[in-house]
Amino acid sequence: MNTILSRRLMVTGGIAVVSGPALAQNPHAQHGPHSSHGPHQHRQGQFERLNAPGRVDLPEIHHQQADVTSPVPQAPNPGRWVPKAPLPIPRTEMAWAVGREGRMHLVGGYAEQRVDRPYHHVYDPANDSWITAAEVPRGANHVGVAVAGQRLYAIGGFIEQNRTPHAECFVWGVEGDRWSAIRPLPEACGAIACTTIGERIHAIGGATGNTFATRKSIDWHLVYDPKDDRWTRVAPMPLGRDHTGIVTVEGLIHLIGGRVDSFHTNSVLHHVYDPREDRWTARNHMPTARSGHGAVLFRGRIFCMGGEGWNRVYGQNEAYDLAADRWEAYAPMLTPRHGMGAVAIGDAIYVAGGGPQMGGGVKSAIHEAFMLS
């Protein structure tokens, strides 16, 4: 276990809870939304470079690359962002997060000068604190994650920096705080968008390749059935992409944005998959082309926030009205970033970690929540 996390841990229900004193190792960890230190004071010392240890402040290049302008009209109630308890350590390129029993789970990613970390952090919004749970057996970045019932699944990922995928898959929560192996993917893949319909896991798109030159986006659409521990293929996505946003709404899968091979060719595409017909159809595209963004269902709309592009890190927070097939802009992120975890729990969207500049050279412990007034 990481030495930062191993101090002052209190075991409750098989999971180690990071206590107040542990979080207080960082003097800024206790600053909440009503802090008297200013609206952005929570960002100080919340970053770390991939190639050097030690906390740093927000990199200057962030201000050159940050983009928060949306081409669509702003919603009448734009909402607001507030700081929350930072991650125990700066992390990025987890690619996604999931909610389970009212908590947010982050698996894998870049941390502490490595790109193949097995960390599993859990955020409890009830007391604004982080928990360290059992590490995934195969450390990786851009791990696909999904929750079916009480079970958390980790699907594939890269073992080098955004390349060299592996095919291993695991499930957590079957027997307490431990992971078990399940049938691996038919082929190694990373940056797969994962979601569930019932108890079945849909793993869509992603990328293959052991070098940046051979890295390619794919259009695979695989379905895992835990009853027989088996993967099957269904209708592929219309255009191979990775780093996409994915949300299930009323039995339909929405796949939004992403990149075709690299962030030089980000997409605005928005497709919907109907499992009853095994068919994809197009919906109104996302206004801002991006990849590595968050996507969540919140208050009856699909919110997409953050993301990455060439010399860009996005803070746009745009929401899709399912009934009207229309997008609106909401309050942009306080700290634009990509490769973070985003989950809607209760009355807020929680967005943790991520990179504040193009690429994976800097990680963050930043954690901010979006609320509608």
Q: Do 305 and 299 form a contact (C-beta atoms < 8 A)?
A: no
Does residue 272 sit within a domain? yes
Strand partners, 312: 309
Q: Do 167 and 189 form a contact (C-beta atoms < 8 A)?
A: yes
Residue 157 CA to residue 175 CA, distance in Å, equals: 24
DSSP letter for 64, please.
H
> Looking at residue 18, what is its pLDDT?
38
Per-residue pLDDT tens over the stretch 59-86: 999 999 999 999 999 999 999 999 999 9
Predicted TM-score of the model (pTM): 0.91
| Mean pLDDT calculated for residue range 312-328 | 98
Q: For residue 1, how many other CB atoms are within 10 A of its CB?
A: 12
Does residue 65 sit within a domain? no
> Looking at residue 75, what is its pLDDT?
97
Q: Do 258 and 270 form a contact (C-beta atoms < 8 A)?
A: no
> Looking at residue 5, what is its pLDDT?
32
> Looking at residue 312, what is its pLDDT?
98
The confidence band for 373, taking pLDDT boundaries of 50, 70 and 90, is confident
> Looking at residue 282, what is its pLDDT?
98
Per-residue pLDDT tens over the stretch 19-62: 332 333 332 333 333 333 467 899 999 999 999 999 999 999 99
pLDDT over 80 (residue 13)? no
Does residue 211 sit within a domain? yes
Q: Do 66 and 315 form a contact (C-beta atoms < 8 A)?
A: yes
Interstrand relation of 312-314 and 66-67 (parallel, antiparallel or unpaired): parallel
The confidence band for 103, taking pLDDT boundaries of 50, 70 and 90, is very high
Domains held by the chain: number: 1
Q: Which residue has the tokens 């928060």?
A: 68
Q: Which residue has the tokens 């995934």?
A: 136
Does residue 43 sit within a domain? no
Kindly compute the dihedral angle of the four CA atoms of residues 183, 168, 197, 162, in this order, to the nearest 10 degrees: -160
Does residue 36 sit within a domain? no
Instruction: Find the domain containing 106 and state its range.
Output: 3-23+71-371
Does residue 41 sit within a domain? no
> Looking at residue 129, what is its pLDDT?
98
Q: Do 108 and 118 form a contact (C-beta atoms < 8 A)?
A: yes
Does residue 47 sit within a domain? no
Task: State both tokens at 164.
Answer: 């060299």
| Mean pLDDT calculated for residue range 236-264 | 97
Residue 77 CA to residue 75 CA, distance in Å, equals: 5
CATH number for 79: 2.120.10.80
Residue 327 CA to residue 131 CA, distance in Å, equals: 35
Per-residue pLDDT tens over the stretch 148-184: 999 999 999 999 999 999 999 999 999 899 999 999 9
Residue 144 CA to residue 167 CA, distance in Å, equals: 11
> Looking at residue 96, what is its pLDDT?
87
Does residue 51 sit within a domain? no
pLDDT over 70 (residue 329)? yes
> Looking at residue 33, what is its pLDDT?
36
Query: Residues 6 or more apart from 153 whose CB is under 8 A from it?
Result: 144, 145, 146, 147, 169, 170, 171, 172, 182, 194, 201, 224
Per-residue pLDDT tens over the stretch 254-310: 999 999 999 999 999 999 999 999 999 999 999 999 999 999 999 999 999 999 999
